[in-house]
Structure 1
Amino acid sequence: MTLLLSALSGLAMGLSLIVSIGAQNAFVLRQGIRRQHVALVVCICALSDVVLIAVGVAGFGTLIAGTEWILQIARFGGAACLLVFGALALKRAVRPAALTAAEEPTTRGSGATAAALTVLGLTWLNPQVYLETIVLLGSVATAQASQHGDAARWAFGGGAMIASVAWFTALGAGARLLQPLFARPAAWRVLDAVVAAMMFTLATLLLIRPL
């Protein structure tokens, strides 16, 4: 049951981080609408997140082994990041935008290579990706391990990985159905409000539970 709860926490947090307006999501949406190299783009996005999450979960575990002060930094730093992301989501909920296929940069040509290079750039050249996956998810996974054992760390990370794979697959495969919904600011208002509430809740849990 503990591992299941850790996995569900990772799933929820992974979705709360990835489901936001941005160039990467917009590019996947555009490729899905146009039915151009959808599988390739989705695979690159999902695999990139899996690798980064694994690095965060494993790296933090090695780093903090037997080091209490690093554990506390991970705890309070993770909580601080969650509060910041929650505040940003709340701000987006107050002033919602809309996600359209025209928001991301276009590629030169429509070949698979151009699509792959574009999505790789949008993923690996974005500093926020490292903050969300390696730092934030890694620190929360560390908290899970300190409370429930090392297996909980990987259950949490696995949940976050599933969230990423599921989101990009749904966005690419269901782009033509999802685009009208995502084009409505009201839909993002509700979604961002839920994300903000989730972030604030997770931050509170990190702060009140002793490590």
Structure 2
Amino acid sequence: MLTFLAGLGLGLSLIVAIGAQNAFVLRQGVRREHVGLVVVVCATSDALLYTAGGAGLGALVERHPLVVDVARWAGAAVVLGYGALAARRAWRGGEELEAAGAAELPDAGRRVRPVLLTALALTWLNPHVYLDTVVLQGTIAASYGADRWLFTAGAIVSSVLWFVGLGFGARLLAPVLRKPGAWRVVDGVIALIMLAVAVSLVAGG
């Protein structure tokens, strides 16, 4: 149990920081737009990466830095693009009208593909994800020897709990975001987060 809780604690410490992926999940949660899909994609992706780390693939990633470099530049481009869209929404405004009608039309008539592709891109094209889940978690899990899968299971559960709470709990903010201009602030903050993430990805090289 202590090993499981250690994995749970590490997973939460790695995932709670506000980044591109969390900002996207939060926004989809507030809009009630394909929240279940986004939560499943993010949690499942983390589970696969944590499992890879527990299986010892962290050393393989470290021996092939080109994989991380490709993900770093591709991720920076995706994050910048999403940040630019958020900045445009913040500048133009009018998003609060969509938030007001979200409760009546959750997911109705909204395209799934762009949401799915964005969730996948913000997850799999972020090299920090590989370093945290595969390399760092995998290295620590290996120190537990035969109990490494208990540690890995704790990390996976932490991811599921976080994304479910973030995605479905975000709707509690909907009444606040019905106020005029509130969404402009949210999108402005998201744009700044995306810019900071993109800069960190490029500078990380």
State TM-score, norm by structure 2: 0.60
The answer to whether the 8 A contact 2:29-2:35 is kept is: yes
Matched-pair contact (CA < 8 Å) for 1:33–1:176: yes
Identity of aligned residues (%): 55
How many residue pairs end up in the alignment? 134
- Inter-partner Cα distance in structure 2 for 1:178 and 1:26: 14
Aligned-pair distance for 1:10? 0.2
Q: Is 1:132 equivalent to 2:132 in the alignment?
A: yes
Match among 52, 63, 70 for residue 49 of structure 2: 52
Q: Deviations over 1:53-78 (max 9, x none)?
A: 000101259x7xxxxxxxxxxxxxxx
Q: Give the SS at the match of 2:17.
A: coil
Amino acid paired to 1:157: T
Q: Note the C-alpha offset of 1:176.
A: 2.7
1:37 aligns with 2:23: no
Paired AA for residue 133 in structure 1: T
Deviation at 1:34, TM superposition (A): 0.4
Structural mapping, 1:178-193, within 5 Å: none
Residue of structure 2 equivalent to 1:5: 2
Shift >4 Å, 4+ stretches: 102-106
Q: Given that residues 141 and 148 in structure 2 are in contact (C-alpha distance below 8 angstroms), is that contact kept between their aligned partners in structure 1?
A: yes
In the alignment, which of 19, 22, 35 is matched to residue 22 of structure 1?
Answer: 19
Q: 1:104–1:142: structure 2 CA closer, same or farther, 3 Å change rule?
A: farther
In the alignment, does 2:188 pair up with 1:154?
no
TM-score by length of 1: 0.58
Cα contact 1:11–1:163 (8 A) shared by 2: yes
Relative to 1, partners in 2 of residues 1:51 and 1:41: Cα closer, same or farther, differing over 3 Å? same
Quickly say closer, same or farther: Cα 1:27–1:154, change in 2 above 3 A. same
Report the AA paired with residue 159 of structure 1: G
Listed as ranges, the gaps of 5+ residues in structure 2 are 60-81, 87-108, 177-184, 186-205
Q: Is the 8 A contact 1:28 1:172 kept in 2?
A: yes
CA contact (8 A) 1:28 1:168 kept: yes
In structure 2, the residue matched to 1:88 is: none
Between the aligned partners of 1:169 and 1:110, the Cα distance in structure 2 is: 21
2:30/2:171 contact within 8 Å kept: yes
Unaligned runs of 5+ in 1: 64-101, 184-211
User: Aligned in 2, Cα 1:178/1:8: closer, same or farther, shift over 3 Å?
Assistant: farther
Provide the secondary structure at the position in 2 that maps to 1:59.
Answer: coil
Q: CA deviation at 1:144?
A: 1.2
Q: Match of 2:163? A: 168
Q: Secondary structure at the match of 2:56?
A: helix
Q: What is the identity, as a one-letter code, of the residue corresponding to 1:121?
A: A
Check conservation: 1:45, 1:119, Cα contact below 8 A: yes
Cα separation, 2, equivalents of 1:157 and 1:19? 17
Aligned to 1:177, which of 161, 172, 181?
A: 172
Cα shift at 1:51? 0.2
